[in-house]
Amino acid sequence: MKKIINDPKRVVDESVAGFGLAHADLVRVEFDPIRVVRADAPIAGKVGIVSGGGSGHEPLHAGYVGFGMLDAAVPGAVFTSPTPDPILAATKAVDGGAGVLHIVKNYTGDVLNFETAADLAAADGIEVRSVVTNDDVAVKDSLYTAGRRGVAGTVLVEKIAGAAAERGDSLDEVVAVAERVNASARSMGLALTPCIVPHAGEPSFTLAEDEIEIGIGIHGEPGRERVKLEPADRLVDRLLEPILEDLPYERGERALLFVNGMGGTPQIELYLAYRRAAEVLEERGIEIARSLVGNYITALEMQGMSITLLKLDDEMIELWDAPVQTAALRWGR
C-alpha cells in the first residue's frame, strides 16, 4: 500500500483538519466529536441541512458545505458511518429554528446512526426530518437486500435541496423537493480496480488485469457481476441500459447527465464516456438540459465511474442553477 498518510488511525482527523484550514472562509471544523459546519451557521429561519457518512468519498460530504448546499457534514471513519454523537452535535449547530433535514445514503449503518441521532435531536426539541437516498439501480431485488444504495444521486439531492433551503423554503417543502429529486434519479457504477482502506492496508477485493466489476457501490463493496474489460462505449451502454429501463423517458423529456469518477479515473476518460452517454440519450430523444462531469463522490483511489440520470422539471432546473459556494461546487455567486 502506498498512500500519502501518517498514522492510518488519524487519516480522517488530519484530512478534515486540512480541509478546515483550506476553506476557513466557508466552514469551521469542530472536533470531539468531529463535524464540518458552515461558517455562518446557524442561520435564523433557514432550514438546516446535515449530511454525512463514512469518509473516503471526498469531496462528499464536507466539500458540499457552504452557501446554497449543506449546513453541516459529519465525516465517519473511512467507509464507516459516523456515530450518533457528531450527527447530533451537527444538527444542533445548524438549527436555525426552521427545522433540520438529514440527507442519508441508504446503507444500514448510516440509516441506523442517523435515526438514533434524529431521535436524540427530537428529544432536545429540534424538528428533524430525514430523506434516505437510494438511486442505485445495480441492486435489482430490494426485497431480498437492504434495499437500493444511495450513491451519486445524493450529490444532486444535496445541491437542489440546499438551494430550496437557501431561498427560504419550509422544512416540508425542502423535504418534498429532496424526495422528488431522489425519486427522479437513477445511478449505476463500475470499477476497474479495487480501493484500499487505509487501516485495512489491502485491496477490498481483487480483480484480474482484464476484469471489471459492474454494479459497485461507493465503498469498494463488490457489485453484481464481473465481466472482461470492454471498450468505453460498451461500458457506458452497460450502465445506461438499466438506468433507462428502471426509469423510462418520453422523447423530449429533460435530464441532468452526471458522469462521476470513482477517484482514480482521470477526466479525460470521464469526458470520453460522457460523449457516448450523450450520444445514447440523443438517439432516444432525451434532452440533456444540465450536466456534471468529474470526481464528485468517490471510493478512495478506485478506478471506475458511475452514471446518474436525473429527470428534470422546471423547479429542479431553477434550483440546480441557483448560486452555490462550496469547496467542490461553486457557481453564480
Partner 1 sequence: MIEGGISVGLDITWAVDWVRRSAQVIADHRVELITLDREIGDGDHGENMDRGFQAVLPKLDDLAAGSTPGDVLKLVATTLISTVGGAAGPLYGTAYLKAAAAAGGAVSLDGTAIAAILTAARDGVVSRGKAESGDKTMIDAWTPAVDAADAAAAAGVDAAGVFAAAADAAEAGAVATEPLVARKGRASYLGERSAGHRDPGAESSALLLRAAADAAAASAGA
Residues taking part in catalysis:
57, 219
How many C-beta atoms lie closer than 10 Å to residue 246's C-beta?
14
For 173-236, give the DSSP string: HHHHHHHHHHHHEEEEEEESS--B-TTT-SBSS---TTEEEES--SSS---SEEEE---HHHHH
- Asked if 109 interacts with partner 1 (CB under 8 A), we say yes
**Overall size of the chain counted in residues:** 333
How many C-beta atoms lie closer than 10 Å to residue 139's C-beta?
19
Shortest distance, position 136 Cβ to partner 1, whole Å: 9
Integer Cα distance of 19 and 66 in angstroms: 13
- Distance from CA of residue 1 to its chain's centroid? 26
Q: Which stretches of the chain are assigned E, i.e. beta strand? A: 27-30, 35-38, 48-55, 72-78, 100-105, 128-133, 185-191, 211-214, 225-228, 254-261, 287-294, 304-311, 324-325, 330-331
Shortest distance, position 164 Cβ to partner 1, whole Å: 30
Q: Which of 51, 113, 133, 182: binder of partner 1 (CB under 8 A)? A: 113
Burial class (CB in 10 A: 0-12, 13-18, 19+), 22: exposed
- Asked if 263 interacts with partner 1 (CB under 8 A), we say no
Site for partner 1 in 139-198 (CB under 8 A): 139, 141, 144-146, 149, 197
Nearer to partner 1, 43 or 77 (CB): 77
Grid cell digits, residue 126: 429540534
Nearer to partner 1, 22 or 112 (CB): 112
Query: Candidates 34-42, 60-68, 134-142, 231-239 — which segment interacts with partner 1 by CB under 8 A?
Result: 134-142
Query: Candidates 104-112, 155-163, 179-187, 310-318 — which segment interacts with partner 1 by CB under 8 A?
Result: 104-112
Torsion of the alpha carbons at 275, 280, 286 and 288, rounded to the nearest 10: -10
- Asked if 77 interacts with partner 1 (CB under 8 A), we say yes
Number of residues in contact with partner 1 under rule CB under 8 A:
38
Query: Candidates 75-83, 124-132, 185-193, 319-327 — which segment interacts with partner 1 by CB under 8 A?
Result: 75-83
Site for partner 1 in 38-67 (CB under 8 A): 54
- Asked if 122 interacts with partner 1 (CB under 8 A), we say no
Query: Candidates 60-68, 111-119, 173-181, 247-255 — which segment interacts with partner 1 by CB under 8 A?
Result: 111-119
- Asked if 11 interacts with partner 1 (CB under 8 A), we say no
Nearer to partner 1, 83 or 325 (CB): 83
Q: Which of 96, 222, 264, 294: binder of partner 1 (CB under 8 A)? A: 222
Pair 89, 72: CB distance under 8 Å: no
- Asked if 83 interacts with partner 1 (CB under 8 A), we say yes
Integer Cα distance of 70 and 15 in angstroms: 19
Binding residues (CB under 8 A) for partner 1: these are 54, 76-85, 107-109, 112-113, 115-116, 138-139, 141, 144-146, 149, 197, 199-200, 202, 204-205, 217, 219-224
